[in-house]
Structure 1
């Protein structure tokens, strides 16, 4: 948790409390359902929470924005982002019902009022969003086909509506068909070696 405070020194007490509560909550529920990789759980705040908050380093969601977390899994990146952006609505979407059920319990324990988990496949969701965030393992072109018609036409932000992908490694081939994509290397914001290959990719809905 000290890592979070290091890079986000202006968090309010309630935000610090909620972020500090995450590890114990996930430790408990991870024993029932594999929400977070047990191989990386020892490094929970770096590899999961701080990585997800990399989005908050490169972009601030405006109050009133509506954001879909596609394939949320254990609630990442949606839950950490919802704590940092309490005036933004986050819709957490996943096709695995048992994960959504546990996310509901985590949200209840954290008293989060701006998070709404839904058990559904993203391509079947009829809602429209300002932004989509995802820490998925699928290739960007596959995810793009799922979400290309999910955006609101009008933006309430200074940038166009679009998707923010948390990715790692060499993305040259994945981004060939997205020449307008913008890469934000997270090692520009975080000092730890884990972030050397990690990036946020922003692709506007144009």
Structure 2
């Protein structure tokens, strides 16, 4: 039960309720992740303690940003193995969460996790991020778009900000060194209708790990020319 105490401590640190029912869902998620990771590449982090600290607690700490407690609709762009979307949805079962990924194998894994954990507040979509946000029902339709360890802030902003309603937020879960990225992406964020609101430092329990939440507020509608096609985004990032 040491993981239970660790996760409960992390949740209490940010005033979140954590009980054995939630803990059991996380442990089942861990087991499914390890099983599927033998078949498809989902994560390089495979030790139980590392999964708890580097995946689960890291994602739970997203709630240091108050908006995650209030958002009704959240899209996790390039969710991969479900981070941060699934941990956020386990902690907040009254929010609607869309998990978006471009690889069908990963989407099959996500659907298995959702089914096995009995999660009712999730949907999954297999599509490229820059394509889905051009569809009317998804464009500027979410309170929060979030993403973790997918790309640099210039690219990530172009992929994520188009999903956010004006007045909503794009929240990137980033590593410890982000000053240069933020400086390089300032104009790109503004072009896409965003404004840097705050950077929230995150500590992970019982470790030296330090991360950041980069919070971008959507202040203007994203121009229709964005996002561009994938090759344009990769070859010529917005500056």
Are residues 1:79 and 2:86 paired?
Answer: yes
- After superposition, what is the alpha-carbon deviation per residue over 1:119-176, rounded to whole angstroms, capped at 9, x for unaligned? 01112212121101110331111111123322223xxxxxx41111111132112112
C-alpha spacing 1:161/1:137, structure 2 compared with 1 (3 Å): same
Tell me the TM-score normalised to structure 1 length.
Answer: 0.87
Match 2:59 to one of 52, 57, 78 = 52
Q: How many residues align?
A: 197
Alignment of 1:1-206 (within 5 A): 1-2=3-4, 3-9=6-12, 10-38=17-45, 43-62=50-69, 65-125=72-132, 126=135, 127=138, 128-153=141-166, 160-176=167-183, 177=186, 180-187=196-203, 190=205, 192-195=207-210, 198-206=211-219
Kindly indicate whether the alpha-carbon contact (under 8 Å) linking 2:99 and 2:122 is maintained by their aligned counterparts in 1.
yes
Kindly indicate whether the alpha-carbon contact (under 8 Å) linking 1:64 and 1:87 is maintained by their aligned counterparts in 2.
no
Kindly indicate whether the alpha-carbon contact (under 8 Å) linking 1:136 and 1:166 is maintained by their aligned counterparts in 2.
yes
Tell me the TM-score normalised to structure 2 length.
Answer: 0.76
| Higher percent of residues as helix | 2
SS at match of 1:15: helix
CA-based RMSD of the aligned residues comes to 2.0
C-alpha spacing 1:38/1:150, structure 2 compared with 1 (3 Å): closer
Larger CA Rg, structure 1 vs 2: 2
CA distance in 2: counterparts of 1:103 and 1:141, whole angstroms = 27
Kindly indicate whether the alpha-carbon contact (under 8 Å) linking 2:11 and 2:60 is maintained by their aligned counterparts in 1.
no
SS at match of 2:209: helix
CA distance in 2: counterparts of 1:6 and 1:96, whole angstroms = 34
Kindly indicate whether the alpha-carbon contact (under 8 Å) linking 2:164 and 2:170 is maintained by their aligned counterparts in 1.
no
- Structure 1: give runs of 5+ residues left out of the alignment: 154-159
SS at match of 2:163: coil
C-alpha spacing 1:140/1:41, structure 2 compared with 1 (3 Å): farther
C-alpha spacing 1:143/1:13, structure 2 compared with 1 (3 Å): same
